[in-house]
């Protein structure tokens, strides 16, 4: 959830990643909002009762925004609006997250928080609503914050098309670069028996009490490089989200292919529980059973 405080310099925005923390793949959001709205209603009800956090990233935003203006798109926007304040910005760029983990202290936002998106999009939104003025009225700002939902991100992209172009180009270049990295790594081990044998012998090490982001990424990366499944450009964002969300969530729901990949690797106890889109009944049941006394899984920073 997003909280704020005011001082002479303006507004300080703080993102609390309150458990249970959840990441839903785009295909799951579409299912909840369009083809199976009953499941979507159940999810929204549980999310609000548990006071959890649904993670949303700039890459997921662009993927969703690209879908156009049809009926399914409008239903998605309505679904995201109804999430209310129970969400937060996820930094899906795992390399940046790992670097932030090395520098993190208890005075900072959690390494998984996308502070860039938080500052850019939120400040545009709040200025548009005439809240950031010389003398702030806290009660007015509080009411505005209640209306700042994931749908607000779509409103800002529509209002500022130059931002959409920027993020879309970044998304496309990221997909291209990640596919190139994977393709080159696969080629190197397929043409070199020694290199393949050496990679097969690599066993990533995890230190208890530390964020498992890098550990999870190394496991997934090894699995993909040594595997035979096609790695398409759209797999890049899935790799990014799977890595960071698994490290900082209690529940992660992906498409069947990526859920199978995540379930096949060894992860520490602090990593999220993974579900495929074909396991939504079990996901909703487990989410509903989550309570204050439940042992949190995903790694926790103070924010």
| Domain range for 23 | 2-174+248-256+268-288
Say if 238 falls within a structural domain: no
Say if 212 falls within a structural domain: no
Say if 80 falls within a structural domain: yes
Q: Which segments of 35-182 are extended strands (E)?
A: 53-56, 87-89
> Contact, 257 vs 278, CB < 8 A?
no
pLDDT > 90 fraction of the chain, expressed in percent and rounded: 50
Say if 197 falls within a structural domain: no
**Is-cis flag, bond preceding 20, omega within 30?**
yes
> Which pair of tokens denotes residue 36?
């199976």
Question: Does the pLDDT value for residue 31 go beyond 80?
Answer: yes
Question: Does the pLDDT value for residue 101 go beyond 90?
Answer: no
Q: Which residue is it, tokens 């040594």?
A: 226
pLDDT of residue 62: 92
Length of the chain: 303
Looking at per-residue pLDDT, the higher value among 105 and 64 belongs to: 64
pLDDT of residue 293: 40
Of residues 189, 167, 66, the one with CA closest to residue 121: 167
pLDDT of residue 299: 46
Say if 300 falls within a structural domain: no
Cβ-count burial of 30 within 10 angstroms (0-12 exposed, 13-18 middle, 19+ buried)? Answer: buried
Angle at the Cα of 115 (from 110 to 117), degrees rounded to 5? 140
Eight-class DSSP state of 296:
P
> Contact, 299 vs 212, CB < 8 A?
yes
Question: Can you tell me whether residue 193 is helix, strand or coil?
Answer: helix
Say if 188 falls within a structural domain: no
Question: Does the pLDDT value for residue 238 go beyond 90?
Answer: yes
Say if 276 falls within a structural domain: yes
- Count CA atoms closer than 13 A to 145's CA, side-chain side: 22
pTM above 0.85, yes or no: yes
Residues 71-93: pLDDT tens digits? 899 999 999 999 988 998 899 99
Say if 235 falls within a structural domain: no
In the chain, the number of structural domains is: 1
Q: What is the mean pLDDT of residues 135-160?
A: 71
Cα gap 54→23, rounded to integer Å: 6
pLDDT > 70 fraction of the chain, expressed in percent and rounded: 81
Which of 3-7, 13-17, 200-204, 271-275 ranks highest by mean pLDDT? Answer: 271-275
């Amino acid at each position: 959830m997003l909280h704020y405080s005011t001082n002479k310099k303006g507004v300080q925005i703080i993102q609390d990643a309150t458990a249970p923390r959840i990441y839903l793949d785009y295909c799951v959001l579409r299912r909840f909002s369009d083809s199976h709205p009953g499941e979507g209603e159940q999810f929204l009800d549980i999310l609000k009762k548990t006071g959890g956090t649904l993670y949303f990233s700039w890459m997921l935003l662009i993927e969703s925004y690209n879908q156009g203006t049809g009926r399914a798109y409008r239903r998605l926007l309505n679904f995201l609006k109804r999430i209310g304040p129970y969400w937060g910005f996820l930094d899906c760029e795992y390399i940046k997250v790992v670097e932030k983990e090395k520098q993190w202290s208890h005075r900072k936002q959690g390494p998984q928080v996308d502070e860039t998106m938080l500052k850019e999009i939120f400040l545009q939104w709040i200025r548009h609503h005439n809240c950031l003025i010389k003398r702030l009225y806290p009660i007015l700002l509080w009411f505005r914050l209640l209306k700042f939902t994931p749908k607000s991100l779509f409103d800002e992209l529509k209002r500022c098309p130059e931002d959409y172009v920027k993020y879309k180009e970044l998304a496309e270049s990221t997909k291209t670069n990640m596919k190139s990295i994977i393709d080159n790594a696969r080629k190197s081990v397929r043409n070199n028996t020694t290199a393949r044998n050496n990679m097969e012998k690599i066993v990533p090490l995890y230190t208890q009490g530390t964020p498992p982001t890098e550990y999870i990424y190394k496991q997934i990366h090894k699995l993909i490089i040594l595997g035979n499944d096609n790695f398409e450009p759209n797999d890049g964002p899935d790799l990014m989200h799977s890595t960071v969300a698994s490290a900082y969530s209690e529940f992660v729901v992906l498409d069947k292919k990526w859920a199978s990949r995540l379930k096949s690797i060894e992860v520490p106890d602090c990593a999220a529980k993974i579900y495929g889109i074909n396991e939504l009944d079990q996901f909703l049941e487990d989410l509903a059973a989550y309570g204050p006394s439940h042992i949190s899984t995903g790694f926790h920073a103070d924010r």
